[in-house]
Amino acid sequence: MPIKDANAKRLHTARMSAETALPADGERSGNALVRASREFAEEDVARSTRATISTMLIIAMMWVGHALTPVWLKPLTGLVLGLTLVRGFVLFHDYEHGALLRGKAWAKPVYNLFGLLVLTPPKVWRDTHNYHHAHNAKLVGSHIGSYPTLSVAIWSKLSPADQRAYAIARNGFTILCAYVTVFLIGMNVSPLRRDARKNRSAWAALGLHVALGALAFALGGAEGLLLGFLLPLNVAFVTGAYLFYAQHNFEGVKLRGRHEWEFTRAALESSSYMPMGPLMRWFTANIGYHHVHHLNSRIPFYRLPEAMDALPELQHPGVTRLRPRDVWAALSLKLWDADAQQMVPFPSGGRPASAAGHDTPSPVASP
């Protein structure tokens, strides 16, 4: 190696060590912690390429196999295909963050088409999801691209109608119906109603969905449409909707007012870690390391565990799991109690609410 290149490398290494070194108290925060995470945002392009191509090919082959499967076996194959679609969605999500295949021209049409397939128009997703990352866990203003969260004090001032709308938005049945509530309406119909021209890619998503549904019906009748096409998508949508909910609604989560909010605290205190076995980690592409992702969204999914292992500040996150009792506990959390500094269920009995003030934020989530 030439002397000039060797010196430059040593200088870069020294600068990186100085930027990421632990302070005297052993804990980094703010920009220092974000800087420490940057080395893990270096992607392995070959690995990203293999993950993309293999996942898309597996989905395509599984869908063909699912369509040819006997009807009695379709619930099982539909479940597996749906979970594989979740993996594809997380890769799409990483691509939109710039964590995968940055600047690779061939990746854009692949992931744009996949986004339309899963009723997630890329433009709508970028606008709402980037907003979510910039406002995660703020008491006011975090509802765009996320589930709405109100404090007990604000909720008590809502009209009964608005309280009902808020309760519906955070209800487990709404997540169970995510195909319609979150994706068809939230990611497509609502954006078109807001600005049809700006969000015109939603028309493409809806058009592709109708065309594929019609093709499934033409080839396989009601069975082809319901079990061959809609079942795996429904598995993917419900799974994705719950994962997104649990990532920011778990026991121990912390919410902050605008003046107290800070980016890295929101990542570490308001984004969960969801331990999973190897198979579910593959299906979800490590999205359970969500606190790491919120610290630095440019870290590829396959480097999230590495970052958590290397940075001590990431090793004590809030934890939630996919066990039934954890799911029930997460779904029971409805309001932020500022006095207790924790999420709590609705008040038992629900006392009548007074009319909402003009500055009360809307309880209805905006996708």
pLDDT tens digit sequence for 271-305: 999 999 999 999 999 999 999 999 999 999 999 99
Please answer whether residues 302 and 289 qualify as being in contact, where contact means their C-beta atoms are separated by less than 8 angstroms.
Answer: no
Cα–Cα distance for residue pair 169/270, rounded to 1 Å: 20
> Would you say residue 357 has pLDDT above 80?
no
Query: Above 90 in pLDDT, residue 20?
Result: no
- Domain assignment present for residue 31? The answer is no
Amino acid letter, residue 18: A
The full length of the chain comes to: 367
Token pair 């964590």 is found at 99
7-11, 64-68, 127-131: least confidently modelled range: 7-11
Note the pTM of the prediction, 2 decimals.
0.87
Instruction: Quote the CA–CA distance of 259 and 263 in Å, as a whole number.
Output: 12
- What pLDDT is stored for residue 306 in this prediction? 97
Instruction: Work out how many domains the chain is built from and give that number.
Output: 1
Q: Is residue 362 part of a domain?
A: no
Smallest CA-to-CA distance from 102 within 45, 59, 36 is with: 45
Alpha-carbon distance values, 357 to 32, 69, 156, 163 (Å): 41, 56, 11, 13
Q: Is residue 27 part of a domain?
A: no
The pLDDT value recorded for residue 29 is 73
Domain-located, residue 156: yes
Decide: 83 and 236 in contact? Cβ < 8 Å. Answer: yes
Single-letter amino acid, residue 355: A
At residue 12 the predicted structure's pLDDT band, cuts being 50, 70 and 90, is: very low
Evaluate whether residue 9 is within a structural domain: no
* Domain assignment of residue 113, given as a range: 42-344
pLDDT one-digit tens code per residue, 73-115: 999 999 999 999 999 999 999 999 999 999 999 999 999 999 9
Model confidence at 26, in pLDDT bands (50, 70, 90)? low
**Per-residue pLDDT for 142 more than 90?**
no
User: Is 35 among the domain residues?
Assistant: no
Assigned domain for 10 exists: no
Give tens-digit pLDDT for 154-207: 999 999 999 999 999 999 999 999 999 999 999 999 999 999 999 999 999 999
Range name among 11-15, 78-82, 130-134, 217-221 with the lowest pLDDT average = 11-15
Q: Is residue 149 part of a domain?
A: yes
Q: Is the pLDDT of residue 14 over 60?
A: no
With a pLDDT cut of 90, the percent of the chain lying above it is 78
Mean pLDDT over the full length of the chain? 88
